[in-house]
Structure 1
């Protein structure tokens, strides 16, 4: 892309949940309100998470194993899909009735932590954090306190349908050093040689990809309390989408808008209408299942400097947190430790929640990994030499960043705003929200 400055160096969050979250308890760093020592008497823990049937079944199997080892602890599961999860959790938390153990996401972590709703897990002796890479553990922190234990990690890469690439006959450039210009040229050529309605790529529009793009430019998306990305960097990101939709490398603005919320198995990539998409590496398993075993490969993102800058990082796929209102924080921390660090639990969970954050439990999976899971794990290992310092998590007040980003991106693609105007407007909107929250 011509406008990128050279340097030396897909799920939308619920805005309803954000609004409810803002009604949580007053700010303050929370400490456990009950004993940090394990109890001898019977204990009941409520545990909540989002996900599908496979996740529910595997999680319950882990609970059964945990209860066998700790017969005085009974676990009451509470789960839902993503769309209703955050509103339900925010309402329960505001009412002082949050579950003991909470599956947490990065976009909401600072919001809950800043309101004293979560326990600082570094104060809990039952939880061992030594198995996690320091930069991964860092992304469970807010203001230097550990409010969330990373469960899994993922990298973002370009997922390529190599069957389709071979069928059309437009080979990829050298993906180990390719530039954004080279990628765009390849995607445009692929679209031109494909049947009508088939494209080289799709527009990227999530916080993870924007974070990586900014880091490639020596920039960053957030500080601990605010949005800090330079308007020029954000404008360049928007320009990518505009260029791709106008030159045919990706579907038009109208087609992109129509397909933005389609289920995974109905999207352009899963239906063989797009050759390559930008996605968390762990999504290779879901796409492979949806595509009937099509040959898929993960390759690095294009960069402006032949992939020499250490811009990459392992993003926690999700976390486990403990409610500050829990009457049994010690047992809750013990359960979190079991789910993250126990080898047998890891074998049950597999990679359903992503690549295990604990390298030892990943190794314990061994031959149990499917070919797609092995590709995701190998891709993460290949990116290890390109990792930089962990970025700041989404700050309090910016939990709806992906909703806002998608809105301005569509404005740019439909040419209702220029990339520069959209960049300035997005930064102003998010900054207003973070200022109000902090």
Structure 2
């Protein structure tokens, strides 16, 4: 069963139920400030690295009377659907923020506003506004955001400097110039590229490019608006960008040969002049810090404003949760500033052991980000990586979101399919986005919006 089918199954499941009588689907009669006890079951939170483990350890310490049972497998919509239909959802679930409004709209998640109030968490102050908007539906906040990985343009000076090109020329506010620059820097062997001038990360970052051009994928109510003319402009630009570098099929085929996570990654091997990457990739490149020459610039909208796109996971309480009190306190503990500072300490120890570079943590909370940065992100002795790190942090001055929609996941699938079809030349950008709009509207029209 595919994701869309699994989500559809989930939406037929009954979202009520109050477990042992200590909660309701709305959470209105739960005393979230009460003492947490009993067994807490979690789904998809995996303390598999020092960042996750340190936070889980803190929660275990703080909630001494709670026994935590973790299903650490990645979130799976079909599994969630099956558990929901059986009335057997856990107390805590981690999922991509694009799913939150989907399940909230059908009553499968418990609003967390009362939980936050009881635990003295001011969501509007603690998290970036964009990540709160990601998990807000119909006036309620349904999850605690985790992480915010802004994307920046990482430039390979080993390719650009011999060509007389500087990092600031990779200016997304000047799309025509960027297409020309990418074409100039691309190196070909016959019909195949051997060095890309600029990798825009397609189709994964299509929503970011819509934002560059002033477009979007949903209105304030969450209704799809994928065929926005500004989105057509963005997709037309991306098609021109790919054609300037040999074509989408050739670019995609070439990228499949990259050793993205290895010692011979595309920056070491000079297979790219620049590309759009999320902040986490700086950690990968730090493993080859002695073999790369790098620079960075932020992504900008057409008016020249740098920005960061929201994205990441969140922790939510299913409406069927049998232990919502412990769930609330566990979630607010593992997403607290204290937890992130503990994670920062643990990450710093790992960085030292590996003789790497501390790139900080991007948590979704400006206060937590700053605390970790102040404690651990110092001048590394490598000016290139210091520039990358600073660029990523600076981009958080303007955080943006696509919004929240009960058809957020179908929208995401539709726009990525549209990007692939248009870039491959199977459809015009206009037709691809019109078809994507129709696809997303089918999901929207199937909702019970009354």
Query: What TM-score results when the alignment is normalised by the length of structure 2?
Result: 0.78
Q: Which residue of structure 2 lines up, in the alignment, with residue 101 of structure 1?
A: 92
Measured in 1, the distance between the counterparts of 2:440 and 2:110 equals 27
| Separation in structure 1 between the aligned mates of residue 120 and residue 299 of structure 2, nearest angstrom | 35
Instruction: Name the counterpart of 1:59.
Output: 52
SS at 2:148 equivalent? strand
Change in CA separation of 1:368 and 1:398 when aligned onto 2, cut-off 3 Å: same
| Gap change, CA 1:42 and 1:219, over 3 Å in 2 | closer
CA contact (8 A) 2:44 2:94 kept: yes
* Post-superposition CA distance 1:320-359 (Å, at most 9, x none): 1112111221221111111111425533265999502223
Q: 1:404 aligns with which of 405, 414, 418?
A: 414
The corresponding residue for 1:273 is 271
Alignment of 1:419-438 (within 5 A): 419-438=429-448
Cα distance change of structure 1 residues 239 and 197 upon mapping to structure 2, 3 Å threshold: same
Shift of the alpha carbon at 1:120?
Answer: 0.8
SS of match in other structure, 1:96: coil
Cα distance in 2 for residues equivalent to 1:118 and 1:144: 14
Task: Report the CA distance shift for 1:52/1:384 in structure 2 as closer, same or farther (over 3 A).
Answer: closer
Q: Which position in structure 2 is the counterpart of 1:10?
A: none
Count how many residue pairs are aligned between Structure 1 and Structure 2. Answer: 415
Determine the C-alpha separation between the residues in 2 that align with 1:407 and 1:172. 31
The more displaced of 64-73 and 142-151 is: 64-73
In structure 2, what is the equivalent of residue 143 of structure 1? Answer: 138
- Contact 2:203 / 2:420 at 8 angstroms: preserved in 1? no
Partner residue of 1:7?
A: none
Q: Judge conservation of contact 1:221–1:227 (CA < 8 Å) in 2.
A: yes
Tell me which residue corresponds to 2:217: 221
Shift of 1:191: 0.6
Please give the alpha-carbon distance, in whole angstroms, between the structure 1 residues aligned to 2:145 and 2:128: 10
- Counterpart residue number, 1:355: 362
5 Å matches for 1:189-228? 189-192=184-187, 196-206=193-203, 209-223=205-219, 224-228=221-225
Of residues 14, 29, 32, the one that matches 1:25 is: 14
Q: How far apart are residue 190 of structure 1 and its match?
A: 0.7
Matched, 1:70 2:82: no
- In structure 2, the CA distance between the partners of 1:318 and 1:206, relative to structure 1 (3 Å rule), is farther
- Please give the alpha-carbon distance, in whole angstroms, between the structure 2 residues aligned to 1:220 and 1:356: 24
Report the 3-state secondary structure (helix = DSSP H, G, I; strand = E; otherwise coil) of the residue aligned with 1:202: coil
How far is 1:189 from its partner?
A: 0.8
Contact kept, 8 Å, 1:312 with 1:387, in 2: the verdict is yes
Is 1:368 paired with 2:359? no
For normalisation by structure 1, the TM-score amounts to 0.80
Contact 2:173 2:300 in 1 (8 A): yes
Give the stretch that moved more between structures: 130-139 or 250-259: 250-259
Q: How do residues 5-404 of structure 1 correspond to structure 2 at under 5 angstroms?
A: 14-15=3-4, 17-25=6-14, 30-32=25-27, 35-37=30-32, 40=35, 42-49=37-44, 53-54=48-49, 58-81=51-74, 85-124=76-115, 125-126=118-119, 128=121, 129=123, 130-166=125-161, 170-175=165-170, 178-192=173-187, 196-206=193-203, 209-223=205-219, 224-248=221-245, 252-256=248-252, 259=255, 264-265=260-261, 272-289=270-287, 294-305=292-303, 307-308=304-305, 312-348=307-343, 355-365=362-372, 366-369=374-377, 378-387=390-399, 390-393=401-404, 395-404=405-414
How much does 1:428 deviate?
1.3
Decide whether aligned partners of structure 1 residues 288 and 184 sit closer, same or farther in structure 2, where only a CA change above 3 A counts: farther
| Cα distance change of structure 1 residues 302 and 92 upon mapping to structure 2, 3 Å threshold | same
Offset at 1:400? 3.4
